[in-house]
């Protein structure tokens, strides 16, 4: 499916594509550039992906503390 950029830098997402991905007027979208591509994603989809990624981390594990410990160890090795 091809779309064109107008003079104001806007594009229209065709209705069929909006229906396919269930986009509705007013849906918040996050825009990012990845490998020279422009990616539009629903905010909720990003949050769900992040939740799934970290779902396997046990509640007693503090990822921030682990990261700090790793950085401190690296500093000691460089020192």
Range of the domain at 24: 15-78
Task: Determine, yes or no, domain membership for 52.
Answer: yes
Question: How many distinct structural domains can be found in the chain?
Answer: 1
Q: Is 49 helix (H, G, I), strand (E, B) or coil?
A: helix
DSSP annotation of 15 reads H
Phi, psi of 59 (to 5 degrees): -60, -25
- Domain assignment present for 66: yes
The rounded distance, in Å, linking the Cα atoms of 62 and 15 is 44
| 30 inside domain | yes
Residue 9 lies in a domain: no
Domain-located, residue 8 = no
Give residue 71's pLDDT band: very low, low, confident or very high (50, 70, 90): very high
- Tens digit of each residue's pLDDT (9 = 90 or more) over 19-52: 999 999 999 999 999 999 999 999 888 999 888 9
> Is the pTM of the predicted complex or chain greater than 0.75?
no
């Amino acid at each position: 499916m091809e779309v064109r950029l107008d003079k104001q830098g806007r594009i229209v997402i065709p209705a069929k594509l909006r229906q396919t991905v269930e986009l509705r007027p007013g849906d918040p979208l996050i825009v990012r550039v990845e490998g020279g591509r422009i990616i539009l994603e629903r905010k909720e989809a990003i949050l769900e992906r992040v939740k799934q990624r970290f779902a396997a981390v046990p509640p007693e594990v503090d990822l921030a503390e682990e990261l700090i410990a790793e950085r401190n160890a690296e500093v000691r090795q460089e020192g």
